[in-house]
Chains A and B, each alone.
Chain A
Amino acid sequence: MLAIRYSPLTVRVLGEQPLLQVAGLSKTYSAGDHSYVALDGIDIAISKGELFCLLGPSGCGKSTLLNILAGFEPPSSGSVTSNGIGVTGAGRDRVMFFQDAGAALFPWLNVEENVRFGLRVRKVPRQERDFIIDKYLRMVGLDHHRDKFPSQLSGGMRQRLQIARALAVEPEILLMDEPFGALDALTRRNMHSVLLAIWQRTGKTVVFVTHDITESILLADRIGVMSAGPRASITKVFEIDMRRPRDLTDPKVAQLFRDIEALLAPEIARPQELDKMTVED
């Protein structure tokens, strides 16, 4: 069972139809007579159980793409389908996970109540709620901190709470927007292990946005590398068929790092384009 999740190739053979499909997507922002084409010609097919990383320079529209996948913003053209059904808004099948846990969590609710929130608004029967809360708080190792408030948690704990809160509503897809970008390096490594363990255990499909090449190599089944905006698109998709946990000193990993960096190098060298960015990333 686990082997299936390890290898993206197997998954795609088994799942005849991709779980999340983006076809010919573009996004244009207009303000007055100015218009800015943020994304252009994006095609992605993500299989069930896959961990897909969207990697790109800051400001390239990764987060915009993720917001469109989440249903927060409509695409200007093209389509997004999840389970074959068009995405028109936030849906039960997808949960977004934010970098800024301070803003994303409910600071007036304690750990347990934060997880309970989704169960409450989804009208999960009362008698099942405690069981579900227990299960996921234990999974992320927060079951001894139930009464704490988000302001009393460390950055890593806040992100673990966000994971528990998202998993509790049992979505198929986790959309993660640079989730560990604000954490210190050690906590970040720790969160990578937490995420991988949970992913392997639950079989969720994960779309993970990052600008960190190393992070994407450590985590992903496939990495979609995006070009810088305007008209950002996915220039290349790397498949990583390597066992986890991955060793950063492995020559194959180093080679992959160099390949991806070479691909991103022209983007990194175009800072003037970033100045033109009007879109929040």
Chain B
Amino acid sequence: MSQVSGRLTGQSSVPKQAKANSRASGRSSSSRFRPILLSAASLLIAVLLWQLLSTFVFNPFLIPPPLAVIRAAIPMLLSGEIFADVSISMVRVLVGFLTGSLAGIVLGVLLGRVRLLHDLLDPILELLRYLSPTAMIPIAVIWFGIGEMSKYFLIFWGTFFIVVVNTTAGVWRAPMTRQRAAECLGASRLAIFALVAIPSAVPYIVTGMRVAMASSFMSIIPAEILAADSGIGYLLQKSALLLQTNRIFVALLTICILGFAFDRLFRFFVDRVLTRYMFYIAIA
């Protein structure tokens, strides 16, 4: 249906590559579900092993078995305590990640195109990007206090440098052939920049953002452990002080699930909105 309307309007927003993929992997229902079944089996076996080992081999206080973790999680879920911490942390990650990505893309695009700007700013960026968000926690607290702003800043810091470096590389490496082709067709320098160089850089930008997303998840925890009174990191810290290993494991599992979910969401978004720009990989 979307195919037909796409042809009528002369616009195809959903390239058919995805369809072809699903067709290729969907030869029979068993082969389609096999990866999912294998993943499920792998997770199930891991949980079983964890249960056995923590019951019979390791000290269950140090490594609480999954059942104990679930028992600890239920009241946290029911009271909404965990959701409050999750949403606080996620807002911090999102604000920092989105502003950091935006700033990184804007600056990266300019650095990839304007040689002078690149030569001027690159040395500074090259030095600063070795300062991990964790290294910046003490100064962030002095600058912004332990409120939300210091967390936004730290996530921004972690995201910005990764995205800027990737975006610069992507714009820089937009194929000369493609730019010349556009030039021949009559595109101005500005048009080549906007309509060729930037779209050519999208795969690099997306990759940078995915890496930055993972880094954001890693940065938010130390930031909240050291300088916060809410969020998952704070939950970890508080549980550790009270030696509640069950609750620590609940918090750790929550981080795993959230990171995974966010990455899937991001990929879903990319598949929906940016697939056509990712064809670059297929054709290169």
Contact = CB atoms under 8 A, between A and B. Distances in A.
B277 A108 contact: yes
Interface of A: 70, 72, 90, 92, 94-96, 98, 100, 102-110, 112, 117-118, 121-122, 130, 146-152, 165-166, 169
Contacts of A109: 276
A148 to B, nearest CB: 8
Contact of A102 (B180, B185, B188, B284): B284
B12 A95 contact: no
Given A121-B187, A121-B191, A121-B195, A104 B181 contact: yes
A115 to B, nearest CB: 10
B16 interface: yes
A106 B282 contact: no
Given A103-B175, A146-B7, A165 B279 contact: no
Interface string B1-39: 001001100101001110000000000000000000000
A151 B185 contact: no
A122 B186 contact: yes
A96 B180 CA distance: 8
A70 B184 contact: yes
B94 interface: no
A150 B277 CA distance: 12
A109 to B, nearest CB: 8
Given A146-B10, A152-B17, A96 B181 contact: yes
Contact of B185 (A72, A100, A122, A146): A122
- Chain B contact residues: helix, strand, loop or mixed: helix
Contact of B178 (A106, A112, A147): A106
Contacts of B16: 147-148, 152
Contact of B186 (A100, A110, A147, A169): A169
Closest 4 CB pairs of A and B: A118-B185, A103-B177, A122-B186, A151-B282
A146 B8 CA distance: 11
Which of the listed residues B183, B186, B187, B279 has the most CB atoms from chain A within 10 Å of its own CB?
Answer: B186
A98 to B, nearest CB: 5
Contact of B177 (A98, A107, A166): A98
B91 to A, nearest CB: 33
B222 interface: no
A117 B195 contact: yes
